[in-house]
């Protein structure tokens, strides 16, 4: 059987190759604080609290069972019953967080692409009830990281995360920066990949912590008056990516005069299929390195939009469509050889970007361009 080469690619473009590792959570020296949850001298988390609820033990147990059932159905948690008595019940709880692009190739040819969870969290939840109250205890926390590699596997206590992934990548980035010419584009691309991966890992820690916190907050809000609709609103679906758009103004064409493609304007970049997303991410990377435009997370915040497409009819070819939000101005680039491979689309996106940069630079220099002049609003 031919060996499968599995490439796990984080959505922010940093390629990682490694094995799944299991670590205990949630001790960290990151921005959330030294300890996300209380732990004992051995580093084991045991998190508990008491909630007062008007009602008998049997009534409280019935409401708790309804809450657990709603979480299994609506929230993305996977709860399995381990032990049960009239006044207590023990569950194992699992939740997956963080999305990454995953591509499987055979002899260099892509077989399939998919979204894969970057981290799995599991813990045990013991619920004990008496008349008028119940106690919850969370313990035996584990995180299964799907992106650990390099020095990150060995930093700190082997049973704790210690923000090790972020610290390791930061150290690797700083060491690389000291040894390479920061003016070279190849160096700036590598540093961009480091920064993107570090930001992804920071967000992943937040997602892991919040997944547990939301489960606990839901328990605290349980009452005999609660109904399934209340439980459904406890946890919102996880976003594909965490991006802060604070400080980025909403943009309107009302009264706008000038070049929509002017340097420093806002652009929204999109791709539909996963391999198109890989190309779109590369466009974001190249634009960010050159500070060509400001990449925004929502189309309504942009002066214009760039769409990355792959035409799979006949020989695969990739191209971009640049358009104004109202559709009055549009430009379709030349088509370049491509495939459904992430790597091919990253390479092709570089070529597309190089051509687009050449054309818009000519416009900025006052030279006429029949393809892009339509983006200038008089």
Q: What pLDDT is attached to residue 115?
A: 59
Is the pLDDT assigned to residue 225 strictly greater than 80? no
Is the pLDDT assigned to residue 21 strictly greater than 70? no
Q: How confident is the model at residue 114 (pLDDT cuts 50, 70, 90)?
A: low
Q: What pLDDT is attached to residue 349?
A: 95
Q: How confident is the model at residue 158 (pLDDT cuts 50, 70, 90)?
A: very low
Residue-by-residue DSSP string for 1-60: -PPPEEEEE-TTS-EE----EEEB--EEEETTEEESS-B-TTS-BEEEEEEE-SS-HHHH
Is the pLDDT assigned to residue 159 strictly greater than 80? no
The whole-angstrom separation of Cα 267 and Cα 294 is 6
Q: What pLDDT is attached to residue 140?
A: 81
Count CB-CB contacts under 10 A for residue 328. 12
Q: How confident is the model at residue 116 (pLDDT cuts 50, 70, 90)?
A: low
Q: What is the pLDDT of residues 346-360, one digit of tens each?
A: 999 999 999 999 999
Fill in the DSSP letter of residue 260.
T
Is the pLDDT assigned to residue 15 strictly greater than 90? no
The reported pTM is 0.69
Q: What is the mean pLDDT of the chain?
A: 76
Is the pLDDT assigned to residue 153 strictly greater than 60? no
Q: Which ranges of the chain would DSSP assign to H, the alpha helix?
A: 57-74, 164-179, 185-220, 228-232, 274-290, 342-364
Is the pLDDT assigned to residue 365 strictly greater than 60? yes
Q: Of the spans 149-163, 250-264, 292-306, which averages the highest pLDDT?
A: 292-306
Name the residue with higher pLDDT: 167 or 305: 305
Name the residue with higher pLDDT: 40 or 206: 206
Q: How confident is the model at residue 247 (pLDDT cuts 50, 70, 90)?
A: low
The whole-angstrom separation of Cα 179 and Cα 356 is 32
Name the residue with higher pLDDT: 77 or 158: 77
Q: Are residues 133 and 55 in contact, defined by beta-carbon separation less than 8 angstroms?
A: no
Q: Are residues 9 and 102 in contact, defined by beta-carbon separation less than 8 angstroms?
A: yes
Name the residue with higher pLDDT: 164 or 220: 220
Provide, rounded to the nearest whole percent, the portion of the chain with pLDDT above 90.
35
Q: What pLDDT is attached to residue 229?
A: 44
Name the residue with higher pLDDT: 369 or 76: 369
User: Among the listed ranges 162-176, 192-206, 213-227, 250-264, which one has the minimum average pLDDT value?
Assistant: 213-227
């Amino acid at each position: 059987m031919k060996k499968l080469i599995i490439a796990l690619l984080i959505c922010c473009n940093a390629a990682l190759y490694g094995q799944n590792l299991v670590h205990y959570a949630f001790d960290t020296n990151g921005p959330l604080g030294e300890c996300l949850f209380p732990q004992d001298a051995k580093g084991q988390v045991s998190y508990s609290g008491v909630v007062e609820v008007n009602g008998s033990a049997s009534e409280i147990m019935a409401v708790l069972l309804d809450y657990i059932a709603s979480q299994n159905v609506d929230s993305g948690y996977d709860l399995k019953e381990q032990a049960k008595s009239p006044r207590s019940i023990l569950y194992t709880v699992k939740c997956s967080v963080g999305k990454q692009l995953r591509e499987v190739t055979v002899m260099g040819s892509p077989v399939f692409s998919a979204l894969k969870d970057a981290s799995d969290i599991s813990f045990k939840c013991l619920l004990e009830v008496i008349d008028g109250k119940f106690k919850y205890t969370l313990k035996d926390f584990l995180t299964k990281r799907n992106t650990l590699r390099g020095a990150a596997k060995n930093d700190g206590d082997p049973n704790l995360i210690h923000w090790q992934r972020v610290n390791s990548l930061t150290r690797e980035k700083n060491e690389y920066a000291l040894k390479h010419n920061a003016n070279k584009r190849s160096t700036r691309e590598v540093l961009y990949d480091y920064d993107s991966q570090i930001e992804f890992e920071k967000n992943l820690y937040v997602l892991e912590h919040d997944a547990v916190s939301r489960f606990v907050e839901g328990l605290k809000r349980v009452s005999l008056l609660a109904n399934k609709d209340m439980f459904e609103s406890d946890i919102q679906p996880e976003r594909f990516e965490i991006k802060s758009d604070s400080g980025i103004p909403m943009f309107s064409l009302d009264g706008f005069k000038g070049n929509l493609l002017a340097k420093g304007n806002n652009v929204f970049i999109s791709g539909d299929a996963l391999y198109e997303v890989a190309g779109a991410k590369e466009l974001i990377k190249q634009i960010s390195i050159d500070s060509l435009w400001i990449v925004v997370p929502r189309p309504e915040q942009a002066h214009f939009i760039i769409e990355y497409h792959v035409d799979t009819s006949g020989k695969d070819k990739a191209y971009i469509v640049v358009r104004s939000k109202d559709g009055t101005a549009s430009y379709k680039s030349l088509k370049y050889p491509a495939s459904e491979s992430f790597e091919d689309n990253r390479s092709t996106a570089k070529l597309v970007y190089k051509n687009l940069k050449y054309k818009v630079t000519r416009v900025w220099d006052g030279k006429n361009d029949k393809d892009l002049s339509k983006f200038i609003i008089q």
